[in-house]
Homo-oligomer: A and B are copies of this chain.
Amino acid sequence: MEKLYFASDYQEGAHPEILRRLESSNLEHSPGYGADAWCASAREKIRSACKCPDAEIHFLVGGTQTNLVIIDALLRPYQGVIAADTGHISSHEAGAIEAGGHKVLTLPNANGKIFASQIRKLLDAYNGDANRDHLVMPGMVYLSQPTEYGTLYSFAELTEISDLCRENHLPLYIDGARLAYALACPENDVTLPDLAKLCDVFYIGGTKCGALFGEAVVIPQPGLIPHLFTLIKQHGALLAKGRMLGIQFDALFSDGLYEHIGISAIRSADRIRSALASLGLPLCFSSPTNQIFCILEDALLARLQDSLEYSFWEKPDVSHTIIRLATGWATTVSDTEALLSLFSSLMQHK
């Protein structure tokens, strides 16, 4: 029996429509570095989806790359970025933000989220500190939607953070690596146009949402970051054959594909969540998108090694492990069924 792959949402190739366009355009000629017609078309479609006709849009290759380029570009050397302690930049990017010279000012998360009240308190502490000139100045806010724990910011929560940021002249940046899975989620009440209104910069994730690779950075107010093109080049993040990114995002933003591509993944994830609960397997916390976090005894987990690819998350104690399962746009109903059988059989022979 073939192994089941639920380790992440980037373990397959791309949506077939993307491959079709790569194929059909393969021997066309075009200028490099994103100056081609495919990129122009993709930008137009994204602007339209975001209802933000003037937005500046850049295509980068991956999420960590996008985070380090944008954060370095938004901050001045004396500033740091406010983020949840579970934020991708805080924990899983090998120190990329610090390598760019900036401190991540972490706040304790609640199921992956942080709140306006926490940010306000941090700003008050900074502003009220008589020695603040010896401290790292808070320079921007980083959020993920959905978060690294699969949870969602509500429109009300984001609005409160956005208002606070604007009051304090802090750019708000949202990492949308898995944004398609937020947009596809029934619980979600934050649309692309909402993001374009509430954020200063956000990125629409491609890699985990149907592309071979690629992230689309949206800057609703064009010109916010002078010379961003050169900064992208300087960080080694400028793709020579930039049209590869244009072709993919053009496909993802044709016929509403991006808004729909995550729907089946959410359905699968919901199905898995309820099945695990029925089997008495505890979820770590409730999250409505495509990631499922559960705690397993190490002895049980050992019995899954040959049949299942999952993600190690952390060890809460010596005999248990928290694992992450992720569905994706390419997860089939039969994959899901096979996973449920596997767990069901595991628990029966416990």
Contacts and interface: CB of A to CB of B under 8 A. Distances in A.
A152 interface: no
A213 to B, nearest CB: 6
A185 to B, nearest CB: 22
A90 B216 CA distance: 29
Contact of A64 (B32, B91, B129, B238): B238
A72 interface: yes
A118 interface: no
Contacts of A23: 19, 23
Interface in A124-155: 125, 128-131, 133-137
B31 A13 contact: no
A28 B2 CA distance: 11
Interface in A96-111: 96, 98-104
For A13, A65, A129, A236, which residue has the most chain B Cβ atoms within 10 angstroms?
A: A236
A22 B25 contact: no
A349 interface: no
B103 A98 contact: yes
Given A96-B233, A227-B76, A235-B96, A241 B13 contact: yes
A22 B31 contact: no
A95 B80 contact: yes
A318 to B, nearest CB: 10
A237 B238 CA distance: 11
Interface of A: 3, 5, 7-8, 10-14, 16, 19, 22-23, 25-32, 61-69, 72-73, 76-78, 80, 91-96, 98-104, 125, 128-131, 133-137, 207-208, 212-213, 226-227, 229-231, 233-241, 244, 309, 311-312, 314-315, 330
A61 B64 CA distance: 14
B315 A128 contact: yes
A237 B80 contact: no
Given A64-B238, A78-B95, A5 B19 contact: no
A229 B134 CA distance: 8
26 contacts: A3-B29, A5-B30, A7-B31, A11-B241, A13-B241, A22-B22, A22-B212, A23-B23, A31-B309, A73-B77, A76-B226, A76-B227, A77-B231, A78-B95, A95-B103, A95-B234, A96-B233, A96-B235, A99-B101, A99-B235, A125-B315, A134-B230, A207-B240, A212-B244, A236-B236, A236-B237
A226 B62 CA distance: 24
A166 B13 CA distance: 43
Nearest to A25: B13
A239 B213 contact: yes
Contacts of A136: 94-95, 98
A208 B135 contact: no
Contact of A227 (B26, B103, B137, B311): B137
Given A63-B240, A212-B244, 5 more contacts: A7-B32, A78-B234, A96-B236, A99-B234, A99-B235
B312 A236 contact: no
